[in-house]
Chain A
Amino acid sequence: MANERISGKASQPGMRLASGEDLEQIVRPAEGLISRRIFADPEVYERELEQIFGRAWFFIGHESEIPERGDIVARQCGVDPVIMVRDQAGVVRAFLNSCRHRGMRLCRADRDHATALRCPYHGWTYSTSGELLAASSEHHYGPGELDKAQLGLIPVARLGSYRGLVFGSWDPAAPSLEEWLGDMRWYLDIIFGRTGEIEFVGVPQIWDVECSWKFATDNFTDNFHVYWTHQSLVELGMLPSDPDFASHGHMVTLDNGHILHFVQGPPMEAFQGLGLPKSLWPRFAEHLSPAQARIAQAHGYSAGTMWPNFHWLQLVTAGDTKSEPVGILNLRLEVPLSPTRTRMYSWFAIDKAAPADYRKTSYETYVRCFGPSGIFDQDDMENWEECTAAARGPAAKRYALHHKMGLARPTDATWAGPGIAYADSYGEMTQRAWYAEWLRRMRQPAHAPTAVQRPRVTAAS
């Protein structure tokens, strides 16, 4: 059958590592003990590919990146290369970036515009909605040898979009995007809907870092590194000199491993309303519920992770020692290339309603502070590489990392949003929730291989 998925592996991978240990013996989120072994071990990584990257929901791109019919960007869903395309009917679709014939990469540009996709190897040609329009030398195929209706591009098994963010999963049995996001939608509405629509500006910055993808994910929900890792900016007066300055806020853990922070900045107007210009603040009440609008108004910073590897960073900072602080919306994705090498993606996004001068200042400040050249980010990547390098050896792997801060922290029932909230933004509650979801996923029994009769073409919107 043309579309059968082929697996040479037993359907049940078992819960134990080759050493005989179960992952739950070395990853104990409830105790704040996470083995260093999971950050550099090929056996753990191979299981992550199947259990996490083959099955969870992953961010692919934003609808604003492909505004016109025929617009294409080359990305990945999990770790598999995909194209995200707006087809001739205007529907956003995503397919494995690989021809059905010999598996040749179909779209070889990072972005393109086309009415059809032709494979350079033998000329097989597909519509932007994935149908095989023509193969090569078709009259040489005998009866039944070329069933074109069965040879469309391999679609991402589940595709969905929320607030323009397009996510996909390779697991046909995955819960719907809405179910998987769950209460995270309430917070996504604040970040991506506070003034109307958000647009991604241009292409992402992309760079490869010699680190475990998990050290990056861990960092994006870690507020108390800011004072020490970014000490150079404290010394320059670009960050407050109080080591607890980023602790004044809330952190929230949600079902399915989603986690987030909202943090008050210094008591200055620039750090209210998520750092957005004052002229946009009245829009909060138009686009959000009263509780959501109050959270947007009262906070400067926010960081959130859509489990496992997609993050928003809503920040307020100046780009140099002479300028005033400005709001920035930065989106981040980590795609592992190996246990110890990770491809980083960083996008700049902005409210469509933002005035032109704010748009320019926010963008310039983003480039100066974040991404590979950013005066903040540079030092983070140094940490992730050094943590990974030190996790490789057999001795290091016997020891756990320390994630115990706030094990006994009480929850805060007064927080107006959904989820389990804590009235403090320093603590490792969100990291522990992330690793608990990681452990649950890694120990889940594998699905039996599913034979798909016909590519399921699922519209994103």
Chain B
Amino acid sequence: MSAAPHSAGVPADACAPGTPLYGEILGFLYREAALLDNNEYGAWIELCAEDIHYVMPVRTTQVRARGPGFEQVSFFDENIHSLRTRVARLETGSAWAETPPSRTRHFLTNVLVQAGERPDEFAVAANFLVTRTRAEQAYQMFAGRREDLLRRVAPSEYRIARRRILVDQTVITSTNLSVLF
């Protein structure tokens, strides 16, 4: 996310922590996370915009001078059709990686909101911790930063137009990535 807010949108102080707009966006993020944790994927996919780009780049360890190590190759590189296919698959009852389903918690903190390039769009960054356990397994954990572009479609109603999932791990220490972020 760029450091300077775009002047075309809402003034920076209108989306600072404590403002009504900030609270509205936080409420949206919490409702969205609850849908994922409750396995309500059918309702979750309705929050994705038709033009969504949902991506989780592979990360590598690099020396400091070469930057944070986010690569061109990704773990997820999704559009609305592939996300709908993922959701439809989970609902077949024969997607064994999630049948029986994982139990997840999506924790979001350090939320920062900036105005987007359009007046109805907001760049929203957050730290995430996603915990997952299946059957009798120990917890698997994913931590990182999420960079979203949220589009306001009605008062208190948003759609996810872009989600970049910047995971901290270079080696995913999890059976698979059958959960969504």
Q: Which residues of A contact B (CB under 8 A)?
A: 108-112, 201-210, 229, 231-233, 235-236, 238, 319-323, 343, 348, 363-364, 367-368, 371-373, 375, 377-379, 381-383, 385
Q: Which of B72, B76, B176 makes the CB contact (< 8 A) with A377?
A: B176
**A–B complex contacts, Cβ < 8 Å, 16 sampled:** A110-B60, A112-B66, A202-B58, A202-B73, A203-B60, A204-B58, A206-B58, A206-B171, A206-B172, A207-B174, A208-B172, A367-B76, A371-B75, A378-B178, A379-B97, A381-B97
Name the prevailing secondary structure of the A interface residues. Answer: mixed
Smallest beta-carbon distance B43→chain A, Å: 20
Using A205-B73, A381-B176, A382-B176 as known contacts, say yes or no to A373 and B60 having CB atoms under 8 A apart.
Answer: no
B140-181 near A? 1/0 per residue, CB < 8 Å: 000000000000000000000000000000111111111000
Smallest beta-carbon distance B15→chain A, Å: 32
Using A110-B61, A205-B73, A377-B176 as known contacts, say yes or no to A321 and B88 having CB atoms under 8 A apart.
Answer: yes
**Chain A residues closer than 8 Å to B56, beta-carbon distance:** 373
Using A372-B172, A375-B85 as known contacts, say yes or no to A109 and B62 having CB atoms under 8 A apart.
Answer: yes
- A209–B173 CA distance with the chains assembled, in angstroms: 7
- A49–B90 CA distance with the chains assembled, in angstroms: 39
Smallest beta-carbon distance B145→chain A, Å: 18
Would you call A236 and B92 a contact (CB within 8 A)? yes
Q: Does B107 contact A (CB under 8 A)?
A: no
**Chain A residues closer than 8 Å to B97, beta-carbon distance:** 378-379, 381-382
Q: Does B63 contact A (CB under 8 A)?
A: yes
Q: Which of B61, B73, B175 makes the CB contact (< 8 A) with A108?
A: B61
Would you call A368 and B82 a contact (CB within 8 A)? yes
Smallest beta-carbon distance A344→chain B, Å: 9
**Chain A residues closer than 8 Å to B176, beta-carbon distance:** 207, 209, 372-373, 377-378, 381-382
Would you call B84 and A320 a contact (CB within 8 A)? yes
**Chain A residues closer than 8 Å to B86, beta-carbon distance:** 375
Would you call A111 and B62 a contact (CB within 8 A)? yes
What 8 additional pairs, Cβ within 8 angstroms, besides A110-B61, A321-B81, A378-B178? Answer: A202-B73, A208-B174, A319-B82, A321-B85, A323-B81, A368-B77, A371-B75, A378-B176
**Chain B residues closer than 8 Å to A207, beta-carbon distance:** 171-174, 176-177
Would you call B66 and A378 a contact (CB within 8 A)? no
Would you call A236 and B89 a contact (CB within 8 A)? yes
Would you call B96 and A233 a contact (CB within 8 A)? no
B51-68 near A? 1/0 per residue, CB < 8 Å: 000001010111100100
Would you call B89 and A208 a contact (CB within 8 A)? no
Q: Which of B61, B77, B94, B98 makes the CB contact (< 8 A) with A235?
A: B94
Would you call A203 and B171 a contact (CB within 8 A)? no
* Nearest-neighbor residue (CB-CB) of B134 within chain A: A382
**Chain A residues closer than 8 Å to B95, beta-carbon distance:** 232, 375, 378-379
Using A109-B62, A111-B60, A372-B75 as known contacts, say yes or no to A381 and B89 having CB atoms under 8 A apart.
Answer: no
Q: Which of B66, B76, B85, B171 makes the CB contact (< 8 A) with A320?
A: B85
8 pairs of A and B residues whose beta carbons are closest in the complex: A202-B73, A373-B177, A378-B97, A207-B172, A110-B60, A231-B94, A320-B85, A232-B95
**Chain A residues closer than 8 Å to B92, beta-carbon distance:** 231-232, 235-236
Would you call A203 and B73 a contact (CB within 8 A)? yes
**Chain B residues closer than 8 Å to A348, beta-carbon distance:** 73
**Chain A residues closer than 8 Å to B78, beta-carbon distance:** 368
Most chain A CB neighbours (cut-off 10 Å) among B75, B81, B82, B173: B82
Q: Does B74 contact A (CB under 8 A)?
A: yes
**Chain B residues closer than 8 Å to A321, beta-carbon distance:** 81, 84-85, 88
Q: Which of A204, A236, A367 makes the CB contact (< 8 A) with B85?
A: A236
Smallest beta-carbon distance B25→chain A, Å: 27
**Chain A residues closer than 8 Å to B85, beta-carbon distance:** 236, 238, 319-322, 368, 375
Smallest beta-carbon distance B161→chain A, Å: 18
- A206–B61 CA distance with the chains assembled, in angstroms: 12
Using A232-B89, A235-B92, A364-B77 as known contacts, say yes or no to A208 and B72 having CB atoms under 8 A apart.
Answer: no
Q: Does B69 contact A (CB under 8 A)?
A: yes
* Nearest-neighbor residue (CB-CB) of A371 within chain B: B75
Would you call A110 and B62 a contact (CB within 8 A)? yes
**Chain B residues closer than 8 Å to A109, beta-carbon distance:** 60-63, 66
B4-48 near A? 1/0 per residue, CB < 8 Å: 000000000000000000000000000000000000000000000
Using A322-B81, A378-B97 as known contacts, say yes or no to A112 and B73 having CB atoms under 8 A apart.
Answer: no
- A373–B98 CA distance with the chains assembled, in angstroms: 12
Using A206-B170, A368-B78, A378-B95 as known contacts, say yes or no to A112 and B63 having CB atoms under 8 A apart.
Answer: yes
- A306–B177 CA distance with the chains assembled, in angstroms: 27
- A275–B107 CA distance with the chains assembled, in angstroms: 42
Would you call B172 and A110 a contact (CB within 8 A)? no
**Chain A residues closer than 8 Å to B60, beta-carbon distance:** 109-111, 203
Would you call B171 and A372 a contact (CB within 8 A)? no
Would you call A367 and B77 a contact (CB within 8 A)? yes
**Chain B residues closer than 8 Å to A112, beta-carbon distance:** 62-63, 66
- A368–B152 CA distance with the chains assembled, in angstroms: 28
**Chain B residues closer than 8 Å to A385, beta-carbon distance:** 175
Smallest beta-carbon distance A301→chain B, Å: 20
Would you call A320 and B177 a contact (CB within 8 A)? no
- A112–B96 CA distance with the chains assembled, in angstroms: 39
**Chain B residues closer than 8 Å to A210, beta-carbon distance:** 175
**Chain A residues closer than 8 Å to B63, beta-carbon distance:** 108-109, 112
**Chain B residues closer than 8 Å to A383, beta-carbon distance:** 96
Q: Which of A110, A201, A205, A236 makes the CB contact (< 8 A) with B69?
A: A110
Q: Which of A203, A375, A382 makes the CB contact (< 8 A) with B89?
A: A375
**Chain A residues closer than 8 Å to B96, beta-carbon distance:** 229, 232, 379, 382-383
